[in-house]
Amino acid sequence: MKILWVFAHPERHSLNGSLMDEGLRALERLGHENRVSDLYAMGWKPVVDADDFGGTAPEDADRLVVGAEQERAYLEGRLGEDVLAEQEKIRWADALVLHFPMWWFGPPAILKGWFDRVLVQGFAFGIKDARGRTRRYGDGGLVGKRALVVTSVGARESGFGPRGVHGHVDEVLFPLLHGTLWYTGVAALPPFVVYGADRATEADFTTYAGALRARLGALPSAAPIAYRHENSGDYDDALVLRPHLAAGRTGLGVHSTAGDHVAMHEQDGEAKTQSLL
């Protein structure tokens, strides 16, 4: 496989940096090709502005409409060289590894800016199929690729569990896994999360490094998260999940087909419903 590793941590000698080193060595031993976008080392510009499109709005516009101008610049080959270079890496790759520390329940601003500037309309989304339907949520410009999110948090694993105060980690990462990756057609694998990163010991590192090597070994064949395709018939014309699917339930979990198979548990004399993303 060809794998693009996008790394977003300001300290190359951090726990995350050491894990990336382990991961890249593992990929090489497995015979995979890899490229690395180390965003802090690259001095990546995270902010979308008119400079991305030549510094001005089109002559017939009285303001900059970012999505439309991104697509126009993409189709006309006017995007910045840094953006074009990252898009070329994505085209080359079969899979992406998105590696970052979780800050304020999401990726650092520099990685969010990579998404904003690189996954432009016309390249990653905003594409129509032969019937004129918008290709998204399981389809799109990046369909056929897969991705593994590797992230670290300072909290214990229990705090990101189904009843943890921070929210279930799959739901915390839903905007990235579903709203960015799946939206553009990328099959997202279950995330790899390092818990208690601020207190990690050498023994913890050894454990996590071994687990990461195993996950990377399964990268070509591991089952992705079973998100629903928008154009599968599961959603009505208003893009609302049809009532017979995950019946009586709401929340982010209903957008995975795993939500169609609900296990009923008896606890304290009441029926409890449990499902996972």
Which phi and psi angles does 101 have, rounded to 5°?
Answer: -80, 140
**56 band by pLDDT with thresholds 50, 70 and 90:** low
**221 band by pLDDT with thresholds 50, 70 and 90:** very high
> Considering the domain boundaries, does residue 228 fall inside one?
no
Do 273 and 219 share a domain, yes or no? Answer: no
Do 90 and 143 share a domain, yes or no? Answer: yes
Is the pLDDT at 71 greater than 90? The verdict is no
Question: What mean pLDDT comes out for the span 126-148?
Answer: 91
Do 210 and 244 share a domain, yes or no? Answer: no
Q: Which residues of 206-223 are buried (b: 16+ CB within 10 A; e: fewer)?
A: eebbeebbebbeebeeee
Do 133 and 65 share a domain, yes or no? Answer: yes
Do 194 and 259 share a domain, yes or no? Answer: no
Burial label, 109 (beta-carbon count in 10 A; 0-12, 13-18, 19+): middle
Question: What mean pLDDT comes out for the span 27-51?
Answer: 95
According to the model, what pLDDT value does residue 64 have?
82
> Considering the domain boundaries, does residue 191 fall inside one?
yes
Is the pLDDT at 8 greater than 70? The verdict is yes
**102 band by pLDDT with thresholds 50, 70 and 90:** very high
End residue of a domain, out of 178, 198, 223:
223
Q: For residues 78 and 149, give the distance between their C-alpha atoms in angstroms, rounded to a whole number.
A: 30
Q: For residues 100 and 96, give the distance between their C-alpha atoms in angstroms, rounded to a whole number.
A: 13
> Considering the domain boundaries, does residue 142 fall inside one?
yes
Do 213 and 162 share a domain, yes or no? Answer: yes
Do 157 and 245 share a domain, yes or no? Answer: no
> Considering the domain boundaries, does residue 151 fall inside one?
yes
Is the pLDDT at 263 greater than 50? The verdict is no
Type of residue found at 195: Y
Q: What is the pLDDT of residues 15-28, one digit of tens each?
A: 899 999 999 999 99
| Secondary structure of the chain in HEC code, one letter for each residue | CEEEEEECCCCCCCHHHHHHHHHHHHHHHCCCEEEEEEHHHHCCCCCCCHHHHCCCCCCCCCCCCHHHHHHHHHHCCCCCHHHHHHHHHHHHCCEEEEEEECECCECCHHHHHHHHHHCCECCCECEECCCCCEECCCCCCCCCCEEEEEEECCCCHHHHCCCCCCCCHHHHCHHHHHHHHHHHCCEECCCEEECCHHHCCHHHHHHHHHHHHHHHHCCCCCCCCCECCHHHCCECCCCCECCCCCCCCCCHHHHEHHHHCCEEEEECCEEEEECCC
Torsion sign across C-alpha atoms 45, 46, 52, 55: negative
Is the pLDDT at 272 greater than 50? The verdict is no
56-65, 100-109, 134-143, 222-231 — which is least confidently predicted?
56-65
> Considering the domain boundaries, does residue 45 fall inside one?
yes
End residue of a domain, out of 200, 223, 246:
223
> Considering the domain boundaries, does residue 175 fall inside one?
yes
Structural domain count of the chain: 2
CATH number of the domain bearing residue 150: 3.40.50.360
Question: What mean pLDDT comes out for the span 239-253?
Answer: 89
Do 206 and 238 share a domain, yes or no? Answer: no
- Comparison of pLDDT for 148 and 269, the residue scoring more: 148
According to the model, what pLDDT value does residue 60 have?
55
> Considering the domain boundaries, does residue 86 fall inside one?
yes
Question: What mean pLDDT comes out for the span 230-238?
Answer: 91
Average pLDDT taken over every residue of the chain:
88
Do 88 and 204 share a domain, yes or no? Answer: yes
Residue 45, CA atoms < 13 Å, CB-side half-sphere: 11
Do 177 and 112 share a domain, yes or no? Answer: yes
Do 169 and 242 share a domain, yes or no? Answer: no
According to the model, what pLDDT value does residue 55 have?
62
Question: What mean pLDDT comes out for the span 100-120?
Answer: 96
> Considering the domain boundaries, does residue 174 fall inside one?
yes
- Residue range of the domain that includes 194: 2-223
The pair of structure tokens assigned to 56 is 């001005």
Q: What is the pLDDT of residues 183-216, one digit of tens each?
A: 999 999 999 999 888 888 888 889 999 999 999 9
Do 89 and 215 share a domain, yes or no? Answer: yes
Q: What is the pLDDT of residues 111-136, one digit of tens each?
A: 999 999 999 999 999 888 888 888 99
